[in-house]
Amino acid sequence: TDKTQYFDFRLGYERHEDLGKYFQFYYGIDMLTGYNYTVSHNMSTSQGTPDAISKTIEGGGGPIFGVKFKINPRISIFTETSLYYTYSKRVIDYKFPDSPENNIKELHEAGSINLTTPFFVCLNIAF
Across residues 43-49, what is the average pLDDT? Answer: 68
How far is the C-alpha of 30 from the C-alpha of 104, rounded, in Å? 36
Rounded CA Rg of the chain: 22
Compute the 3-state secondary structure of the chain and give helix, strand, coil in percent, each to the nearest 5: 0, 75, 25
Mean pLDDT of the chain: 92
Q: What SS3 state is found at 96?
A: coil
**Is the distance from CB of 40 to CB of 6 less than 8 angstroms?**
no
Categorize the per-residue pLDDT at 76 as very low, low, confident or very high, splitting at 50, 70 and 90: very high
Confidence of residue 115 (pLDDT cuts 50, 70, 90): very high
The domain locations on the chain are 3-125
Give dist(CA 78, CA 59) in Å, integer.
26
pLDDT at 46: 66
Reported pTM: 0.72
Q: Are 84 and 30 in contact (CB under 8 A)?
A: yes
